[in-house]
Amino acid sequence: MDNHHYEFEARRAGYSGVAGVDEAGRGPLAGPVVAAAVILPQDIVLDGVRDSKKLSERARREAFSLIKKGAIGISLAVVDPKEIDRINILQATRKAMKQAVLRLDPQPDCLLIDGIHPIDLPIHQRCIIKGDQLCLSISAASILAKVYRDSIMHSYHKLYPQYGFSSNKGYGTSGHREAIAKHGPCCIHRVTFRGVLT
Protein backbone atom coordinates (compact mmCIF):
# COMPACT_ATOMS: atom_id res chain seq x y z
CA MET A 1 0.00 0.00 0.00
CA ASP A 2 1.47 3.34 -1.05
CA ASN A 3 1.31 6.34 1.27
CA HIS A 4 -1.32 8.13 -0.87
CA HIS A 5 -3.82 5.30 -0.26
CA TYR A 6 -5.97 6.98 2.40
CA GLU A 7 -6.13 10.30 0.53
CA PHE A 8 -7.07 8.46 -2.66
CA GLU A 9 -9.84 6.56 -0.86
CA ALA A 10 -11.23 9.77 0.61
CA ARG A 11 -11.27 11.50 -2.78
CA ARG A 12 -12.90 8.46 -4.39
CA ALA A 13 -15.63 8.77 -1.73
CA GLY A 14 -16.27 12.34 -2.89
CA TYR A 15 -14.19 14.44 -0.48
CA SER A 16 -12.11 17.17 -2.09
CA GLY A 17 -10.27 18.83 0.83
CA VAL A 18 -8.46 16.02 2.62
CA ALA A 19 -6.33 17.12 5.58
CA GLY A 20 -3.81 15.11 7.58
CA VAL A 21 -3.66 15.89 11.30
CA ASP A 22 -1.02 14.94 13.88
CA GLU A 23 0.64 16.25 17.02
CA ALA A 24 4.03 16.43 18.69
CA GLY A 25 4.75 16.58 22.39
CA ARG A 26 2.31 14.29 24.17
CA GLY A 27 4.96 12.57 26.25
CA PRO A 28 7.42 15.24 27.45
CA LEU A 29 7.63 16.56 31.01
CA ALA A 30 7.94 20.15 29.77
CA GLY A 31 6.77 22.40 26.98
CA PRO A 32 3.60 22.60 24.90
CA VAL A 33 1.79 20.10 22.74
CA VAL A 34 1.72 21.20 19.10
CA ALA A 35 -0.73 20.03 16.42
CA ALA A 36 -0.49 20.48 12.68
CA ALA A 37 -2.99 20.09 9.87
CA VAL A 38 -2.03 19.96 6.20
CA ILE A 39 -3.82 19.64 2.87
CA LEU A 40 -1.59 18.32 0.08
CA PRO A 41 -2.19 18.39 -3.68
CA GLN A 42 -3.45 15.12 -5.13
CA ASP A 43 -0.31 14.04 -7.02
CA ILE A 44 2.39 15.62 -4.87
CA VAL A 45 5.67 13.76 -4.49
CA LEU A 46 7.50 14.44 -1.23
CA ASP A 47 10.69 12.41 -1.20
CA GLY A 48 11.91 11.77 2.31
CA VAL A 49 8.64 12.66 4.01
CA ARG A 50 7.68 9.96 6.49
CA ASP A 51 7.05 9.61 10.21
CA SER A 52 8.93 12.49 11.87
CA LYS A 53 10.32 10.19 14.57
CA LYS A 54 12.28 8.28 11.90
CA LEU A 55 14.03 11.35 10.50
CA SER A 56 17.08 13.23 11.72
CA GLU A 57 16.57 16.81 12.88
CA ARG A 58 18.18 18.11 9.70
CA ALA A 59 16.05 15.86 7.48
CA ARG A 60 12.92 17.04 9.29
CA ARG A 61 13.81 20.69 8.69
CA GLU A 62 14.40 20.00 4.98
CA ALA A 63 11.09 18.13 4.78
CA PHE A 64 9.36 21.01 6.60
CA SER A 65 10.44 23.39 3.81
CA LEU A 66 9.29 20.97 1.10
CA ILE A 67 5.88 20.56 2.72
CA LYS A 68 5.39 24.32 3.20
CA LYS A 69 6.31 24.93 -0.43
CA GLY A 70 4.08 22.20 -1.86
CA ALA A 71 1.00 22.17 0.38
CA ILE A 72 -2.37 23.69 -0.49
CA GLY A 73 -2.79 24.70 3.14
CA ILE A 74 -1.00 24.23 6.46
CA SER A 75 -1.72 25.34 10.01
CA LEU A 76 -0.27 24.87 13.48
CA ALA A 77 -1.74 25.19 16.97
CA VAL A 78 -0.07 25.21 20.38
CA VAL A 79 -1.51 24.33 23.81
CA ASP A 80 0.71 25.42 26.68
CA PRO A 81 1.79 23.38 29.73
CA LYS A 82 -0.60 25.11 32.15
CA GLU A 83 -3.54 24.17 29.96
CA ILE A 84 -2.20 20.60 29.68
CA ASP A 85 -2.13 20.43 33.50
CA ARG A 86 -5.64 21.88 33.69
CA ILE A 87 -7.45 19.62 31.20
CA ASN A 88 -5.02 16.63 30.81
CA ILE A 89 -2.79 15.75 27.88
CA LEU A 90 -5.40 13.87 25.84
CA GLN A 91 -7.87 16.76 25.94
CA ALA A 92 -5.05 19.25 25.28
CA THR A 93 -3.98 17.24 22.23
CA ARG A 94 -7.53 17.14 20.88
CA LYS A 95 -7.88 20.88 21.54
CA ALA A 96 -4.66 21.63 19.62
CA MET A 97 -5.78 19.43 16.72
CA LYS A 98 -9.19 21.14 16.60
CA GLN A 99 -7.56 24.59 16.56
CA ALA A 100 -5.17 23.52 13.80
CA VAL A 101 -8.05 22.27 11.64
CA LEU A 102 -10.14 25.41 12.23
CA ARG A 103 -7.19 27.58 11.13
CA LEU A 104 -6.74 25.73 7.84
CA ASP A 105 -7.42 27.72 4.71
CA PRO A 106 -9.10 26.32 2.71
CA GLN A 107 -11.23 24.40 5.19
CA PRO A 108 -11.15 20.60 4.71
CA ASP A 109 -14.16 18.32 4.31
CA CYS A 110 -12.30 15.19 5.43
CA LEU A 111 -9.73 14.62 8.19
CA LEU A 112 -7.18 11.82 8.40
CA ILE A 113 -6.05 11.72 12.02
CA ASP A 114 -3.13 9.88 13.56
CA GLY A 115 -4.24 7.58 16.39
CA ILE A 116 -7.65 6.56 17.70
CA HIS A 117 -9.23 9.78 18.97
CA PRO A 118 -11.49 11.87 16.69
CA ILE A 119 -11.74 15.64 16.97
CA ASP A 120 -14.86 17.45 18.14
CA LEU A 121 -15.74 18.91 14.73
CA PRO A 122 -18.61 18.21 12.29
CA ILE A 123 -16.22 17.08 9.54
CA HIS A 124 -15.90 13.55 8.19
CA GLN A 125 -12.96 11.89 9.99
CA ARG A 126 -10.92 8.71 9.79
CA CYS A 127 -8.56 7.79 12.63
CA ILE A 128 -5.58 5.74 11.51
CA ILE A 129 -3.38 3.83 13.93
CA LYS A 130 0.26 4.49 12.97
CA GLY A 131 -1.07 7.02 10.49
CA ASP A 132 2.21 8.95 10.66
CA GLN A 133 3.87 5.91 9.04
CA LEU A 134 1.10 4.94 6.62
CA CYS A 135 -0.43 8.16 5.29
CA LEU A 136 1.47 10.94 3.49
CA SER A 137 -0.59 13.88 4.74
CA ILE A 138 -0.38 12.64 8.34
CA SER A 139 3.38 12.14 7.94
CA ALA A 140 3.61 15.71 6.67
CA ALA A 141 1.58 16.97 9.65
CA SER A 142 3.81 15.05 12.06
CA ILE A 143 6.90 16.75 10.58
CA LEU A 144 5.36 20.22 10.74
CA ALA A 145 4.32 19.73 14.37
CA LYS A 146 7.65 18.24 15.44
CA VAL A 147 9.85 20.89 13.78
CA TYR A 148 7.71 23.72 15.13
CA ARG A 149 7.71 22.27 18.65
CA ASP A 150 11.47 21.69 18.55
CA SER A 151 11.98 25.36 17.64
CA ILE A 152 9.88 26.35 20.67
CA MET A 153 11.99 24.14 22.92
CA HIS A 154 15.22 25.65 21.51
CA SER A 155 13.85 29.06 22.50
CA TYR A 156 13.03 27.84 26.00
CA HIS A 157 16.58 26.47 26.30
CA LYS A 158 17.87 30.05 26.12
CA LEU A 159 15.66 30.99 29.07
CA TYR A 160 16.26 27.82 31.12
CA PRO A 161 19.58 26.32 29.99
CA GLN A 162 19.94 24.22 33.14
CA TYR A 163 17.35 21.71 31.89
CA GLY A 164 18.94 20.96 28.50
CA PHE A 165 15.78 21.60 26.49
CA SER A 166 17.72 22.06 23.23
CA SER A 167 18.75 18.40 23.35
CA ASN A 168 15.99 16.64 25.31
CA LYS A 169 13.07 18.77 23.95
CA GLY A 170 11.39 18.38 27.34
CA TYR A 171 11.36 14.58 27.35
CA GLY A 172 12.17 12.77 30.58
CA THR A 173 15.78 11.85 29.94
CA SER A 174 17.94 10.97 32.94
CA GLY A 175 19.77 14.32 32.64
CA HIS A 176 16.48 16.22 32.52
CA ARG A 177 15.13 14.38 35.57
CA GLU A 178 18.36 15.09 37.45
CA ALA A 179 18.03 18.79 36.58
CA ILE A 180 14.45 18.82 37.91
CA ALA A 181 15.63 17.16 41.12
CA LYS A 182 18.40 19.74 41.49
CA HIS A 183 16.62 22.94 40.41
CA GLY A 184 12.95 22.09 40.80
CA PRO A 185 10.50 22.57 37.93
CA CYS A 186 10.30 25.79 35.92
CA CYS A 187 7.19 27.46 34.54
CA ILE A 188 7.01 25.30 31.42
CA HIS A 189 7.09 21.98 33.27
CA ARG A 190 3.89 19.93 33.37
CA VAL A 191 3.40 19.61 37.10
CA THR A 192 0.75 16.89 36.78
CA PHE A 193 3.22 14.56 35.03
CA ARG A 194 5.01 11.89 36.99
CA GLY A 195 8.67 12.80 37.25
CA VAL A 196 8.12 16.53 37.61
CA LEU A 197 6.79 16.72 41.16
CA THR A 198 7.58 13.82 43.45
With CA atoms as reference, report the closest residue to 61 among 52, 51, 71, 70.
52
Query: Does residue 55 lie within any of the structural domains?
Result: yes
114, β-bridge pairs: 128
What pLDDT score does 111 carry?
A: 98
**CATH classification of the domain holding 36:** 3.30.420.10
Query: Does residue 179 lie within any of the structural domains?
Result: no
pTM: 0.94
Query: Does residue 64 lie within any of the structural domains?
Result: yes
What pLDDT score does 14 carry?
A: 96
What pLDDT score does 124 carry?
A: 97
Q: What distance in Å separates the CA atoms of residue 20 and residue 178, rounded to the nearest whole number?
A: 37
Query: Does residue 195 lie within any of the structural domains?
Result: no
Amino acid at 74: I
What pLDDT score does 44 carry?
A: 84
Task: Tell me how far the alpha carbon of residue 117 is from its chain's centroid.
Answer: 14
Q: Residue 102 burial (CB < 10 Å; 0-12/13-18/19+)? A: middle
Total domains in the fold of the chain: 1
What pLDDT score does 55 carry?
A: 79
The parent domain of residue 128 ranges over: 5-151
Query: Does residue 188 lie within any of the structural domains?
Result: no
Q: What is the pLDDT along the chain (198 residues), one digit of tens a residue?
A: 467 899 999 999 999 999 999 999 999 999 999 999 999 998 887 876 765 577 788 888 888 999 999 999 999 999 999 999 999 999 999 999 999 999 999 999 999 999 999 999 999 999 999 999 999 999 999 999 999 999 999 999 999 999 999 999 999 999 999 999 999 999 999 999 998 975
Q: What distance in Å separates the CA atoms of residue 198 and residue 194, rounded to the nearest whole number?
A: 7
What pLDDT score does 51 carry?
A: 55
47, β-bridge pairs: none
Query: Does residue 146 lie within any of the structural domains?
Result: yes
DSSP characters over 50-117: S-GGGS-HHHHHHHHHHHHHH-SEEEEEEE-HHHHHHH-HHHHHHHHHHHHHHT-SSPPSEEEEESS-
Q: Residue 36 burial (CB < 10 Å; 0-12/13-18/19+)? A: buried
What pLDDT score does 2 carry?
A: 62
End-to-end CA distance of the chain: 46
What pLDDT score does 24 carry?
A: 97
Q: What distance in Å separates the CA atoms of residue 60 and residue 50, rounded to the nearest whole number?
A: 9
